[in-house]
């Protein structure tokens, strides 16, 4: 079976897992799906460093505490603690400091590096998924904005790959990602704007400018997110972050653009909601 066919079939399953809950289920189901990807993502992130000679993460503790914090905040976003959610968040700060304190007893050669990378996993993986859950919970429109964001990212990713494959000549960032080209990047951006217009015309005609501005924000974020994860993998001398998705690699490989884009998309939604 060709690599393109494998990528297509695997990608179709992945897209269905994301879009179906967003369009046809209540927010709890969608949050469960996003939480599942967050769990897989944080495990995968900590496993990235297992082959490193200098980085020695306590991956089991990192996963446990990351998911403890993630689960607490996700439950609060769904109103589980209602009035007490804000006061209870003060518990998170001692957890972070105790988390760092564990390095005293581990006696590893590079404790500061271990602490920094442990905390970065929480920021890089868990925070974007929490923002995605919050966007989905607060969005009451017939066309889910989170779904639109994912569609734009996938459009950019797909057509950047195809444009680069057929027309790519000029390297975009050869030191980090030798296969990416300017031609592919421009192709992905142009098709993303086309998709933004299509989404608006088909599902959200009143918000054309919202989707055009969203695309202008999302596409560079998607590119930088992809490059950032490529930097991680090149630094660790690995090809893929995992093997869970045939033809695509791991969860972080598939979500690299979205993880970087979500904080910017969330910020844009806040600005749009209050000022537009």
DSSP character string of 18-60: HHHHHHHS-HHHHHHHHHHHHHHHHHHHHHTTTT-SS----HH
Q: What is the pTM of this model?
A: 0.93
Query: What are the backbone dihedrals phi and psi of residue 173, each rounded to the nearest 5 degrees, phi first?
Result: -150, 70
Is 274 in contact with 246 (CB distance < 8 Å)?
no
Q: Which of 273, 271, 274, 262 is nearest to 134 (CA)?
A: 262
For residues 54 and 110, give the distance between their C-alpha atoms in angstroms, rounded to a whole number: 7
Can you tell me the distance from the alpha carbon of 182 to that of 188, in angstroms, rounded to the nearest whole number?
A: 10
Task: Kindly state the tokens that stand for 225.
Answer: 């997110």
Buried b / exposed e over 141-171, threshold 16 CB at 10 Å, is eebbbbbbbbbbbbbbbbbbbbbbeeebeee
Whole-number Å distance between alpha carbons of 42 and 164: 30
Residues 6+ apart with CB under 8 A from 75: 81
Backbone dihedral region for residue 168 (phi beyond 0: left; psi -120 to 50: alpha; all else: beta): beta
The domain limits of the chain are: 3-275
At residue 112's C-alpha, the angle toward residues 95 and 98, to 5°, is 15
CA proximity to 124, closest of 264, 239, 256, 220: 256
Tokens coding 167: 């027309």
User: For each of the chain's 276 residues, which pLDDT tens digit applies?
Assistant: 556 666 777 778 888 999 999 988 778 999 999 999 999 999 999 999 887 878 889 999 999 999 999 999 999 998 887 777 777 788 888 999 999 999 888 888 889 999 999 999 999 999 999 999 999 999 888 899 999 999 999 999 999 989 988 887 888 888 888 888 899 999 999 999 999 999 999 998 889 999 999 999 999 999 999 999 999 988 888 887 877 776 667 899 999 999 999 999 999 999 998 887
Longest dimension (CA), the chain: 59
pLDDT at position 139 is 86
> Which tokens sit at 159?
């057509």
d(C-alpha 202, C-alpha 163), whole Å: 25
Give the SS3 label for residue 247: coil
Kindly compute the dihedral angle of the four CA atoms of residues 147, 151, 154, 155, in this order, to the nearest 10 degrees.
Answer: -170
């Amino acid at each position: 079976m060709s690599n393109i066919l494998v990528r297509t079939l695997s990608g179709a399953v992945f897209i269905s897992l994301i879009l179906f809950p967003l369009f046809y289920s209540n927010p709890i189901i969608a949050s469960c799906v996003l939480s599942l990807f967050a769990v897989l993502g944080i495990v995968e992130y900590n496993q990235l460093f297992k082959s490193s000679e200098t980085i020695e993460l306590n991956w089991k503790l990192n996963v446990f505490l990351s998911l403890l914090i993630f689960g607490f905040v996700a439950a609060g976003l769904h109103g589980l603690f209602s009035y007490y959610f804000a006061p209870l968040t003060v518990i998170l700060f001692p957890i972070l400091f105790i988390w760092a304190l564990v390095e005293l007893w581990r006696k590893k050669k590079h404790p500061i590096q271990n602490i920094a990378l442990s905390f970065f996993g929480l920021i890089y993986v868990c925070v974007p998924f929490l923002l995605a859950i919050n966007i989905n919970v607060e969005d009451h429109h017939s066309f889910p904005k989170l779904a639109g964001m994912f569609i734009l990212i996938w459009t950019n990713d797909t057509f950047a790959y195809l444009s680069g494959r057929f027309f790519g000549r000029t390297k975009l960032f050869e030191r980090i990602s030798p296969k990416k080209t300017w031609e592919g990047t421009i192709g992905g951006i142009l098709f993303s704007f086309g998709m933004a217009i299509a989404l608006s015309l088909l599902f959200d005609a009143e918000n054309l400018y919202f989707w055009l501005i969203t695309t202008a924000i999302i596409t560079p974020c998607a590119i930088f997110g992809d490059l950032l994860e490529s930097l991680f993998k090149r630094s660790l001398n690995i090809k893929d972050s995992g093997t869970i998705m045939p033809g695509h690699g791991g969860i972080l490989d598939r979500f690299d653009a979205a993880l970087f884009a979500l904080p910017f998309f969330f910020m844009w939604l806040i600005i749009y909601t209050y000022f537009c």
